[in-house]
A and B are shown apart, each in its own frame.
Chain A
């Protein structure tokens, strides 16, 4: 399983989700190792921990139909920890729901880069539109910014009135 070819599923779109998935997989690996020891010594096997939907999708994408093993999961962990993905912070007037979030994530991964992490922040003072913050720049496409940029129009309108 080449780590270069691995693409995060659209459901795992943010750095926090990646961290959560890593934590889940590490927790699962620990459980698997402990159970192996328990089985060896004849102790009672613990119940399998629950996984988040994102973790399940990531593991399924990684395994690609092959059976899970400790080695493959360790390799997945290594791959996830080694990922250096560009991060983009999106600020909106309100937090997007799942559908809106998927639309935005799809748009970014399709039009900007397939390996990209997004985080969403809400600020109702924006009124509308969005602010895109990359590691280097801030792109302000908010209504507020557009109003400020078009302040000459406002002056012209005021003159006409």
Chain B
């Protein structure tokens, strides 16, 4: 029994020792890894390799620069073309719109001017007609006045001539029939006037 206990105790002690050693080794390894990651070690390149790398890098850089320049030039050309087209289209549209507005305004002005001209023409025509009518009326009145004056003068001349010719040789007896006929013809007129006057 004691032996068995001893053996088992010895095994346990041995196992403990193994665990402690293993733990120590693991801790040291972790510490080394931490130290290695905190301070990288510089890469050392040889001179010829560096020259070669530099020349390759320069060539690649120049190639990239050239490529980018070409691409940029192409893009710029396209952009310029598009911009020109846009400007041209925009300019054309604006000019067309302005021209259209100008034509519309011009048309309106022309319409107004035509209307004004028509009104003026109508007014002038109306004035002309009125003037002509007025002148015709005045002319007719003047003509009638002159004719009446002439007739009156002529009537006066003739009647005066007849009166003068008759002179003192008036025979009232011969006129009585004419006088009575005249009175008979205007009997009602005289009677009406007298009766209204009384």
A residues lining the B interface (CB < 8 Å): 84, 86, 88, 92-94, 96-97, 100, 103-104, 107, 111-113, 116, 124-130, 132, 134-137, 139, 141, 143-144, 147-148, 151-152, 154-155
B28 on interface, CB distance cutoff 8 Å: no
Contacts of A144 in B (CB 8 A): 159, 162-163
**By the criterion CB–CB under 8 Å, are B163 and A94 in contact?**
no
Closest to A137 in B: B193
Contacts of A113 in B (CB 8 A): 191, 194-195
How far does the Cβ of A153 sit from chain B's closest Cβ, in whole Å?
Answer: 10
**By the criterion CB–CB under 8 Å, are B180 and A86 in contact?**
no
B residues lining the A interface (CB < 8 Å): 151-152, 154-156, 158-160, 162-163, 166-168, 170, 172-173, 175-176, 178-180, 182-184, 186-187, 189-191, 193-198
**By the criterion CB–CB under 8 Å, are A154 and B176 in contact?**
no
**By the criterion CB–CB under 8 Å, are A141 and B183 in contact?**
yes
How far does the Cβ of A87 sit from chain B's closest Cβ, in whole Å?
Answer: 9
**By the criterion CB–CB under 8 Å, are A112 and B191 in contact?**
yes
- Out of A86, A96, A151, which one reaches B197, CB within 8 Å? A86
**By the criterion CB–CB under 8 Å, are B182 and A129 in contact?**
yes
How far does the Cβ of B107 sit from chain A's closest Cβ, in whole Å?
Answer: 64
Docked complex Cα distance between A135 and B190 (Å): 11
Docked complex Cα distance between A111 and B162 (Å): 31
Docked complex Cα distance between A141 and B151 (Å): 19
Closest to A141 in B: B182
Docked complex Cα distance between A132 and B187 (Å): 11
Closest to B158 in A: A147
- Out of A96, A134, A143, which one reaches B162, CB within 8 Å? A143
Q: With A141-B179, A141-B183 as given contacts, are A154 and B155 in contact (CB-CB < 8 Å)?
A: yes
- Give 19 pairs: A residue, B residue, CB < 8 Å, sorted on A: A93-B172, A94-B170, A96-B172, A111-B183, A111-B191, A112-B191, A124-B170, A126-B163, A127-B159, A127-B166, A128-B170, A128-B175, A136-B193, A141-B179, A143-B159, A147-B162, A148-B156, A154-B151, A155-B154
How far does the Cβ of B197 sit from chain A's closest Cβ, in whole Å?
Answer: 5
Contacts of B163 in A (CB 8 A): 124-127, 143-144
How far does the Cβ of A42 sit from chain B's closest Cβ, in whole Å?
Answer: 51
**By the criterion CB–CB under 8 Å, are B190 and A112 in contact?**
yes
**By the criterion CB–CB under 8 Å, are A92 and B172 in contact?**
yes
Closest to B153 in A: A151
**By the criterion CB–CB under 8 Å, are B172 and A134 in contact?**
no
**By the criterion CB–CB under 8 Å, are A136 and B197 in contact?**
yes
Contacts of B176 in A (CB 8 A): 100, 103
**By the criterion CB–CB under 8 Å, are A151 and B151 in contact?**
yes
- Out of A93, A130, A136, A152, which one reaches B182, CB within 8 Å? A130
How far does the Cβ of B150 sit from chain A's closest Cβ, in whole Å?
Answer: 8
- Out of A88, A107, A155, which one reaches B180, CB within 8 Å? A107
**By the criterion CB–CB under 8 Å, are B183 and A134 in contact?**
no
Contacts of A86 in B (CB 8 A): 194, 197-198
**By the criterion CB–CB under 8 Å, are B175 and A151 in contact?**
no
Docked complex Cα distance between A103 and B195 (Å): 21
How far does the Cβ of A161 sit from chain B's closest Cβ, in whole Å?
Answer: 13
Query: Can you list the 6 inter-chain pairs with the closest CB atoms, starting with the nearest?
Result: A141-B182, A148-B155, A151-B151, A127-B163, A151-B155, A144-B159
Q: With A86-B197, A124-B167 as given contacts, are A147 and B159 in contact (CB-CB < 8 Å)?
A: yes
Contacts of B198 in A (CB 8 A): 84, 86
